[in-house]
Chains A and B, each alone.
Chain A
Amino acid sequence: MLKVNQLSKKFKENVIFSQVSFAVEPGQLVHISGENGSGKSTLFKVITGLLAPDAGSTTIDSGDVIGALIENPGFLEYETAMTNLKFLADLSHDFNRTRIMELMQQFELDPNNRQAVSKYSVGMRQKLGIIQAVMENQNIVLLDEPTRGLDSDSVAQFIVLLHNLVQANKSVVVASHDHVEGLNYDHAFVLKDGYLQDE
C-alpha cells in the first residue's frame, strides 16, 4: 500500500505542490490529471525518492517495491532493449527472461532485436519504459504520461496490462494530462495550482 502524507515541494521560491495526500490500496487504480507543468512528474519523483520533499512523507508497506516510468525514459542508448532490461533487473537480482519476453511480445517489441535503443521511436521507448516499471513484479506502479507516443493498438495493450496489474492486486497510479478511454479508475484526482483535489 502506498500512503502519501502532506507532501510539499518547491524549487527555490516556486511552489510545485503543497500538502498532497492520498493513498492507494492494493488492487486500486488511481488517476492524477493535471496540465503540463502542474507538478505530476515532480510528485512522482518525490514519491520514488529521486527528489527530497520539503515537507511530508511517503510510506509503503514492508516488502513493497515501487516501479515507475517518469518523464522521457532514458536508457543505455547504444545497447539493445533486452540488455537494458537485464541491466535494470539485475540490480534487484530479479531478471526473469520469460516474463520480459512475454511483456515485450505483448507490446509488439522483438526481444531478439539487436538494434540499439537510440534508434527506437518515441512509442517504442515508451513501451520499454512501461515494461521496466512492471517486469520485476513491482507491486506499486507509477506511470507518468504512459500513453505518450503510443499508437491505438499499443494503448489497447497498455489497458490490458493495467487490468492485469489491478487483478494481480498491484497498486497503480497513472498521471496524465488527459484521460485514456477504456480505463476505469477507483479514484481520480486533479493536481491544480499546487493542490491535489478530487476530480
Chain B
Amino acid sequence: MNRKLVFTGYSLIVLGLFLLVPRSFPNILPKAYAGLLFGYQERPFFLMIFSLFDVFFDYVSLTVPQAELFSIRTFFLIRRPSVSQVYGTYLRFILPYFIPFVLSKLVALLIWPQAQIGVWIVFYILVWLAWLLANLNRRVAIPNGFILVVFAGLRVLGHLWL
C-alpha cells in the first residue's frame, strides 16, 4: 500500500489518541497536555501508550521519506541536478510527511501558547530537516536505530524542560 496513505492513517490515529487525553484526564493542565507532544509520560498507561505512539510518529515521519529518497539517490544524482532542483524535488516529496509532523507540533501552541512551546517547535523542525539533509548528503545511510535514539533523547529533554 502507498506509504503516504499509511502514514496519513497513522497520523490520524495519533491525533485521535491525543484528542482523547482530556476526556480521560479532565484535570490535565494545558502545559502538561501540550508537553505530551515534546516529552513523554511513563504513567498512567494511556499516556505512556500515547507517548510511544507519538515518538514513533516523529520517527517514521522522517525515516520513511528519507529511505525512499536514499533508495533512488543513484538515478537522481546521475542527472546532475542543480541545488535548487534537488531541494525543489525533495520538498515536493517530503511534504506529505513533513506537514503532518509540523501540524502535530503546532497543535501544542493552541493548547498552551507560550514562547517555550514555540522554541521547541522550531527546535524539532530544525532537527527533522537536519537529519534529512545530513542523510541525503551521505554515501551510506545513517542507521534508523540511531535516528530513533535521537528522537527518544529529545523526548527525555522535553520531559525534563517542559
A159 at the interface (CB under 8 A from B): no
Interface contact A74-B85, CB-CB below 8 Å: no
Known: A87-B93, A91-B85. A75 touches B78 (CB 8 A): no
Docked-complex contact B79 and A88, CB < 8 angstroms: yes
**Known: A74-B71, A74-B73, A87-B93. Is A68-B3 also a contact (CB below 8 A)?**
no
Q: Hey, what's the 0/1 contact readout for A70-98 against B, CB within 8 Å counting as 1?
A: 11011111110000100110111000000
A residues 12-55 in Cβ contact with B at 8 Å: 48-50
Tell me how far the C-beta of A77 lies from the nearest C-beta in chain B, rounded to whole angstroms: 6
**Number of chain B residues close to chain A: CB under 8 A:** 21
Cβ of B81 under 8 Å from chain A: yes
Residues on A with C-beta less than 8 A from B85 are 91-92
Q: Which of B80-128 contact A (CB under 8 A)?
A: 80-81, 85, 89, 93
CB distance from A175 to the nearest CB of B (A): 15
Q: Are B89 and A90 in contact (CB under 8 A)?
A: yes
A91's partner among B1, B71, B89 (CB-CB below 8 A) is B89
B72 touches A76 (CB 8 A): yes
Name the interface size band of chain A.
20 to 34
**Could you tell me the distance between the alpha carbons of A24 and B121 in the complex, rounded to whole angstroms?**
54
- Chain B residue nearest to A94 in the complex (CB): B79
A67 lies within 8 A of chain B by Cβ: yes
Residue from A73, A78, A90, A116 in contact with B75 in the complex, judged by beta carbons closer than 8 Å? A73
Query: What's the minimum C-beta distance from B21 to chain A, rounded to whole angstroms?
Result: 31
Q: Which residues of A contact B (CB under 8 A)?
A: 48-50, 66-68, 70-71, 73-79, 84, 87-88, 90-92, 116, 129, 132
Q: Which 7 A-B pairs have the closest CB atoms?
A: A78-B3, A74-B71, A76-B68, A91-B81, A48-B78, A91-B79, A68-B78
13 sample A-B contacts, Cβ–Cβ < 8 Å, listed by A number: A48-B78, A50-B74, A50-B77, A70-B74, A74-B71, A74-B75, A75-B72, A76-B93, A78-B68, A88-B76, A88-B79, A91-B76, A92-B81
- A73-B74, A75-B71 are known contacts; what are 15 more A-B pairs with Cβ within 8 Å? A48-B78, A50-B78, A66-B78, A70-B74, A74-B71, A74-B74, A76-B69, A76-B72, A77-B67, A78-B68, A87-B93, A88-B72, A116-B1, A129-B75, A132-B75
